[in-house]
Structure 1
Amino acid sequence: MSQSVLSLFRDGHAYMSTWPVKKELYPHFPECKVISATRFSIAVMPPVAVVCSAMLFNTLGGDYLPQTLAIGAFFLSLPLQGILWLGHRSNQTLPPALKSWYHEIHGKLQQEGCEVHSRQSEPKYRELAALLKSAFDQLDKVFTRRWFE
């Protein structure tokens, strides 16, 4: 199933805001590191692109304008690459080990009376993100700690 780039950006942005960036999840999922790096690059890369482009243009002059613009575009593309990766990842189906973990957490949340979305038979990473966010928001640390020890 091919998706448009715009839908990947939309999915990546939604996934970035849904995924709980918690210290317990860092060793298990690359999402935490990618989200942190993407948020940092969203804040830092536009000024870096402007400063680098201005310095190159000032130093090398108009003869090197294409190279200067290419370097600026590179720095501006870094946050977009993170968002695209997140969008692609959010649409991937969970592997079997994570799928059983998803079902276990979903069952525990329902057992505790928490409000959760309906259980998916073929969950994707975006459903796992929503479930983990619900677990961290609604359950006590005692319950969530046993999943990450």
Structure 2
Amino acid sequence: MLNQKQIIIEWKKAGLKENGFMFQDITELYELAVRNADSDEEANKLVILAIRAAAKNGGKTAMAVKNNLTKWLNAGATTAIKVGDYEKQSQQLQQPRSRFGQPLRKESAIEKFTPEQIAEQSKRLAKEDGFDDPEE
């Protein structure tokens, strides 16, 4: 059964757009969740989680909520626990890795050479090439 009061509270808390189609959007989202969720209670949880996820990601419309909900349902997440597992797994996949699954090491900053170091290197290279003065 649609717990519309709780969903509307979450909708307003999330700062989603409130217009004449808000109740229709909520009903459609709930119907989508009910068709795929394990129970009515899980459908309510899924809609609320989708609203919270949309708000967290900066979404302001019903389409942002629907995108989250369909993403989870297409992945087979039909309960709130499965949604949590799916999001946890997707976060782990997004972490940067290098070869063989080892974490990336931070590279050191690019060194800036001083004019003295450049002059010293020029002298050394000139001597290696058989010149006494780098100007030659």
TM-score, length-normalised on structure 1?
0.23
Larger Rg: 2
Task: Give the helix-richer structure, 1 or 2.
Answer: 1
Task: State the structure with bigger RCO (CA 8 A, min sep 6), 1 or 2.
Answer: 1
